Structure 1
Amino acid sequence: MMVKLPQIAVLLSSYNGEKFIEEQIQSILNQQNVSIHLLIRDDGSTDRTHEIAELFATKDTRISIIKGKNKGVVLSFFDLLQNVDENFDFYAFADQDDVWKPNKLEKAAEMMSKSEVIVPAMYYSRLEFTDEHLNTIGYSIIPKNRGFENAIVQNQATGCTIVINGAARKIIITRLPSWALMHDWWFYLVVSAMGDIYYDEFAGILYRKHGNNVTPATPWFALELYARVKRYLGHGKIPEKVTDQVREFYKLYQDILSKDQQKIINGFLTARGSGFFKRLRYILTMPVRRNTPFDNIILRMLILIGKF
């Protein structure tokens, strides 16, 4: 008797990725013990990215191509999720410049099979960081605080590791936001509120690091605290955008949130516009949390001084 393999749609948004996309596509096609279909949406590339993808598609019927106008990565992934067939078991998301290990999707499907099909579920995993030549340079930290209270203020689910089931896809596309910080953060926020979250310590992805985007930590607590706060506040209006994203989520999902979840969001939003002493009371008992005690100190400090 033949065992039915999990049917997985892989959604890849590409933009000027000619340097690495061929290697990434091949690693997706090489996935083991799953049946995949790769849907690529080119987000208006001006290099050979679309041409490379089309060449793959002529040789492998498991690949479909959408040539689109430039929308940006968030809207491009939302577009992919809307346009893919609804009959797949799972939906995975891919960047254009990584390499997937052959058992990446098999591991995800195995873990997510614990959830009932009617329950929204999301899988994400650790990353193996590499240089441009795929030499390992480190691993992402293993998150300790996972779930809805974390998703409100932090995204720890990197999009290229995410796999969701059909129930999660449905609840996302039927209430698409007018704006979100990032697609992966939005998925994490929605599914952590509505269903099951699975984290895998197995790093199924070789995640290429580009440029000087790794900042070494100083061992001195005060200097590290100062450096992190300065970096955070240096990201423009990120705290305001986090709040805007929470408001958008609440507007779309309030009617199906539990009373406790509504209370958590209302407390966070109310504290955002309150006076100093109300903010002080809030940070002493707030349920929202980031991944590490150190980051939680920073979060509380920023809320207290009115910068978050």
Structure 2
Amino acid sequence: MKQPKVLIMMSTYNGEHYINEQMDSLMAQVNVETQIYIRDDGSTDGTIEKLRPYIEAYPDRIHIRSEQNLGVIRSFFELMGSSPSTFDYYAFCDQDDVWEQDKLIRAVTLLQTRSAAIPLLYCSSTQMVDQHLNAIGVWPKVPQKPLELHNALVENSCVGCTMVMNNITFNQVKASLPSEVNQVIMHDWWIYLYVSTFGEVLFDGQPGIKYRQHQGNVLGGGRDGWIQKWRKRLNRFVNGNNHYILSSQARLFLAMYEESLTHTQIEEIRSLLHCLEKSVIDRTWYAFKTPFYRQSFLDNIVLKFVIITGKL
């Protein structure tokens, strides 16, 4: 029986400390035929040197380009734009995690239970580990609310390094990659938003990767305690770091896909954006009747607060 063909897309940047463990786990994937496309985002350490033995051992399976530093979002979009459209499935990959041997085949098997005629996206919980791969906890929890537009516009419920897309998702997103990347919060959030709107998102509660938490993470997982997590959020809000990022991404999404959205979807997104220009009374009224939601009760309260302040 022919094995599914999966393209693994990895963006690297100064990842010499952990790249070997990740590459070993990628080469150990079972019951799938894999190729790995790597875009090095201008590393200044020994990342390329660490990768060279793998490239020499598997010249037909591993392809690497060393290019200028663009940042994680642009780098992954560049990978999508330059990758071939001939694979059955496509997976994002970070440089410092460790994948379970059945990570990809588990994702593919679940995706194959759904219609291949629509955009599909698999994502999962992760086994968070410290830098020495000691278990910390499982994150994120299985979402209890639907993974569709009303969630995806205001929250990313899918961790990028767990994502596996079908061919339709990859090619449709690739055909219209956002040009205003500064308005995209993260590449994985953008794809979650797209598939939740036009296809189906499948969430697997069984972790398929060891998600390493260390000081070099671009973005961490859920390792922070409750108090620390909320202190960081409050500080980011007070400092203005997250002001208007949700509305900017929503505005770009609407501009790019308005012709494909339903009338109801268009009106709901417009209502969210327009309410931010109204009085605090109007924003408060809208916040408590908005159709948009986050997964947890407390995160939903924060969403309403941000709408009321007009800083969405």
TM-score normalised to the size of structure 2? 0.92
Partner of residue 216 from structure 1, selected from 190, 202, 225: 225
2:32 pairs with 10, 18, 34, which one?
34
Structure 2 residue aligned with 1:7: 5
Counting only pairs closer than 5 Å after superposition, residues 237-248 of structure 1 correspond to structure 2 as: 237-248=241-252
- Structure 2 distance, partners of 1:293, 1:283, is 14
Q: CA deviation at 1:264?
A: 1.9
Identify the residue that residue 150 of structure 1 maps to in structure 2. 151
Q: Is structure 2 residue 134 aligned with structure 1 residue 135?
A: yes
1:221 corresponds in structure 2 to none
Aligned residue identity for 1:173: K
Q: Give the superposition deviation at 1:306.
A: 2.4
Q: Aligned partners of 1:237 and 1:142: how far apart in 2?
A: 28
User: Helix, strand or coil: the match of 1:202?
Assistant: coil
The 2-side partners of 1:200 and 1:80 are apart by 25
User: Percent same amino acid at aligned positions?
Assistant: 35
Q: Is the 8 A contact 1:229 1:298 kept in 2?
A: no
Superposition deviation, residue 117 in structure 1: 2.7
The answer on whether the counterparts of 1:225 and 1:298 sit within 8 Å (CA) in structure 2 is no
Letter of the 1:30 counterpart: A
User: CA separation in 2, counterparts of 1:272 and 1:103?
Assistant: 46
TM-superposition CA deviations, 1:79-113 (whole Å, max 9, x none): 11111111100000000000000010011001111
Secondary structure of 2:244's counterpart equals helix
1:98 corresponds to which letter in structure 2? Answer: D
Tell me which moved more, 262-271 or 246-255.
Answer: 262-271
CA distance in 2, matches of 1:211, 1:293: 29
Q: What does residue 160 of structure 1 align with?
A: 161
Residue identity in the other structure for 1:167: I
Deviation at 1:173, TM superposition (A): 1.4
Amino acid aligned to 2:144:
K
- In the TM superposition, residue 116 of structure 1 has moved relative to its aligned partner by 2.8
- Note the C-alpha offset of 1:123: 0.6
Quote the offset at 1:279 in angstroms. 0.9
Of the structure 1 ranges 116-125 and 88-97, higher mean CA displacement relative to structure 2 is found in 116-125
Partner of 2:279: 275
Deviates more, 1:277-286 or 1:196-205: 277-286
Whether the aligned pair in 2 keeps the contact of 1:10 and 1:94 (CA below 8 Å) is yes
Contact 2:142 2:204 in 1 (8 A): no
C-alpha displacement at 1:260, in angstroms? Answer: 1.9
Deviation at 1:114, TM superposition (A): 2.3
Equivalent residue letter for 1:108: A
Alpha-carbon distance between aligned partners in 2 of 1:200 and 1:234, rounded to the nearest angstrom? 35
| Contact map agreement 2:142 2:203 (CA 8 A) in 1 | no
CA shift for structure 1 position 229: 5.5
Amino acid at match of 1:90: Y
- From 223, 227, 230, the equivalent of 2:234 is 230
| Structure 1 alignment gaps of length 5 or more | 219-223
**Paired residues for 1:244-255 under 5 Å:** 244-255=248-259
1:296 Cα offset (Å): 0.7
Match of 2:99 in 1: 100
In structure 2, distance between residues paired with 1:211 and 1:26: 22
TM-score of the two chains, using structure 1 as the length reference: 0.93
